[in-house]
Amino acid sequence: MATAASSSVVTLEKKKRTGSFRSCSSSSSSSSKKPCTRCELVGFDSLPEYLKDNEFLLNYYRADWPLKETMLSIFSIHNETLNIWTHLIGFFIFLCITVCAATTIRRHDGAGSSVTEQPVARWPFFAFLAGAMLCLLSSSACHLVSCHSERCAYAMLRLDYAGISTLIVTSFYPLVYYTFLCDPFSRGLYLGLITALGAAAVLASLVPAFQTPGYRPARALLFSLMAASGLVPIAHKVAAFGDRPEAIATAWYELAMGIFYGLGVAAYVARVPERWMPGRFDIVGHSHQLFHVLVIAGAYTHYLAGLEYLKWRDVQGPYCQC
């Protein structure tokens, strides 16, 4: 940490000498106490080490901006603008879905009308929606303010990783709870294992090296393995309930979700298309934006699966008959 901080200072001093970087930090030791009113976007080579993540994005970086300017940059154009807005819009989409689901979902009785009998528990379905909203909002906030300082970046990236873990863990809840409604052992086993895995991933993300560019494949592998472990309960579901149309329909949704997430992770790790034309996709079209959009598509597909699970268990009734 100390080495990184001192190298950042050296980098800043070098940029000041060469004139290629204008610091906007209000904590500057300059004799002027007035914070600068206009912050400039800088190139990759001018970044402090903690912000160097993707060398194929060449320009339009914010670096060490004061907090106020950092917050207001949500309304300006830089290479994080679409990263912020893709997940912020995704958050509002899921907020609307949650409100609509809470106010309109009624128990299915198999004939298309609602009934008043106590329905099957809704908490796994809403836990997933809450996990999706937490992930999208923390990601958006992380992209907005991480450029403020190294301390801020460290804290926000932990929040981002915790949000990703929460989305993955809560995605298991509808799948496991509704599929194994009448099998408490399998239900408890799967829910316990994925929750423990999620907690372990959050703890692993506390290691400072976890956020460095060299650990990009390791980060992708950890979260991908967590998500891929969902194949076990899905295979169990198809084997046990292959004759139920809802079980097959939800498995198709889960396959589509896996494809969306898989494509997103592939773009994230490979850093395409910017790798092919560095500098061309700095503002629009780089891999992280594609990753964000594919995450929203995957989460939305899982929401559709959640509706199917509710229909399945409501039609069958809240009481186990198996």
Note the residues at the interface with Zn ion (CB under 5 A).
139
Whichever of 156 and 247 has its CB closer to Zn ion, that residue is: 156
Whichever of 90 and 119 has its CB closer to Zn ion, that residue is: 90
Whichever of 205 and 250 has its CB closer to Zn ion, that residue is: 205
Angle at 189 between CA 314 and CA 128, to 5 degrees: 50
Question: Cβ atoms within 10 A of the Cβ of 226, count?
Answer: 20
Give CA–CA dist 272/270, Å, rounded.
Answer: 6
Whichever of 127 and 296 has its CB closer to Zn ion, that residue is: 296
Q: Cβ 24 to Zn ion, closest distance in Å?
A: 23
Whichever of 82 and 191 has its CB closer to Zn ion, that residue is: 82
Q: Cβ 12 to Zn ion, closest distance in Å?
A: 26
Give CA–CA dist 320/2, Å, rounded.
Answer: 59
Q: Cβ 299 to Zn ion, closest distance in Å?
A: 14
Whichever of 143 and 302 has its CB closer to Zn ion, that residue is: 143
Whichever of 5 and 85 has its CB closer to Zn ion, that residue is: 85
Residue count of the chain, please give it: 322
Binding residue per annotation — 143?
A: yes
Whether residue 186 contacts residue 180, with contact meaning beta carbons closer than 8 Å, is answered with yes
Q: Cβ 288 to Zn ion, closest distance in Å?
A: 5
Binding residue per annotation — 286?
A: no
Q: Cβ 297 to Zn ion, closest distance in Å?
A: 15
Q: Cβ 268 to Zn ion, closest distance in Å?
A: 8
Give CA–CA dist 108/129, Å, rounded.
Answer: 20
Q: Cβ 140 to Zn ion, closest distance in Å?
A: 8
Residue ranges of the binding site for Zn(2+): 143, 288, 292
Residue ranges of the binding site: 143, 288, 292
